Amino acid sequence: MNQPSTPFYTRLAMVLFSIICIGYLAILGQTLLAPLLTSFLLALLLLPLANYLEKKCRLKRSLASIISVVLMIALLSGILYFLANQLTDLWQDWPLLKKQAEISFHDVQNWISHTFHINTHKQIDYLKDSATSALATSATVLGATLLTLSSTLLFLSFLLLFTFFILNYRGTLFRFLTSVFADEHTEKVSEIVRHIQYIIKKYITGLFIQMIIVTALMIFVLWILSVKYAVLLGLIAGIFNIIPYIGIFSALLISALITFATAGAAKMLLVIVAFLCVHTVDGNVLMPLVVGSKVKINALFAFIGIVVGEMIWGISGMFLCIPYLAMLKIIFDRVDPLKPWGILLGGEEKPHKKRKVYRLTKKIKLEEQE
């Protein structure tokens, strides 16, 4: 005798309740889950190096994992050291920036006076009242800053430890995943795991290559425009570009403000145009060539994922949302009951077209990724 099917509204309520519970648990477990999920992506990126050290150099798995993590730390430390040197140059010009900000402030005051007929004394009184309120809450702000700093140090500590443990115990984790499901699903689970490993490794590697190219392009364009701090602004653009959609506009805002303070409004407009041009090249040439589109998340759900990720985990959530949405799509596309959700996350099907090839020299060419 067939059992009666569960009504739609009951299934919908159960799904919504499950989503709310998962989101609440994710917020509660941010300290543990955010570095753990980030470490999983880094472990996938370091996996080829760890395998090489283990198989070719005949090192033990634990030693190969430690060396991989240490090399990653060295690379990141070098980038941070170079960025700190650039910020030091900016700090030395702080008096110039302060003077330009005062001039701009007086210009804004005059514009408000002529446009809204509010004299400068009332504006200054309003700013004094705002400053008094800010000073009253300074202790709270200082405490929040110290808490953020300690949370960042804790995040980095967990990140390094989790990356090492995932690399060291990757065989155990893989056997666990295959043993959780029934024997008839073992082959499909293994295939999904291999495909996720391939796609995410390809995505993260392409993302870092894209970051390097965008940084080089921005530095070159800003240098051509004789913009001060071209290297620093190029680094900001490349690093922020890792966060889809929102990152490039945040970098544009920071660069526009620094350029306005050091060179005026005309140069600032040129910087904005340069950012828009490089972003256009990045979206239409670099992204298809370097990152590819084997698992493509449509812009609507990518943006929703970024917003939800920021609401739950802040900046780390914004970075993690796209690769983990890609993982979900891979799973949805290979599990029959979940295929409609894979269609919803993906882009529109386009007819097969010939891949673009950009020839740099007779022997060097760039071919669009599948």
**pLDDT tens-digit profile of 152-177?**
777 888 888 999 999 889 888 888 88
Q: Which residues of the chain have pLDDT under 50?
A: 1, 131, 134-147
Question: How much is the pLDDT for 139?
Answer: 44
Alpha carbon 49 to its chain centroid, in Å, reads 23
Report the candidate in 285, 298, 283, 223 with the shortest Cα–Cα distance to residue 249.
283
Report CA-CA distances (Å) from 170 to 34, 50, 193, 204, 331.
Answer: 19, 11, 12, 19, 20
**pTM score, whole prediction:** 0.69
Give the helix/strand (H/E) hosting 23.
helix 8-28
CB 171 within 8 A of CB 65: no
Question: How much is the pLDDT for 289?
Answer: 66
Two tokens at 158? 């967990």
How far apart (Å, rounded) are the C-alpha atoms in residues 204 and 313?
A: 20
Question: How much is the pLDDT for 291?
Answer: 58
Question: How much is the pLDDT for 141?
Answer: 38
How far apart (Å, rounded) are the C-alpha atoms in residues 328 and 339?
A: 11
Instruction: Give the torsion sign (CA, 216, 219, 222, 224).
Output: negative
Question: How much is the pLDDT for 1?
Answer: 45
What's the angle, vertex CA 190, arms to CA 294 and CA 65, rounded to 5?
85
Phi, psi of 264 (to 5 degrees): 100, 180
Question: How much is the pLDDT for 123?
Answer: 57
How far apart (Å, rounded) are the C-alpha atoms in residues 188 and 334?
A: 8
What one-letter code names the amino acid at 228?
K
Question: How much is the pLDDT for 144?
Answer: 41
Crossing angle (nearest 10°) for helices 315-334 and 299-313: 130
Residue 287's contacts (CB-CB under 8 Å, 6 or more residues apart) are 210
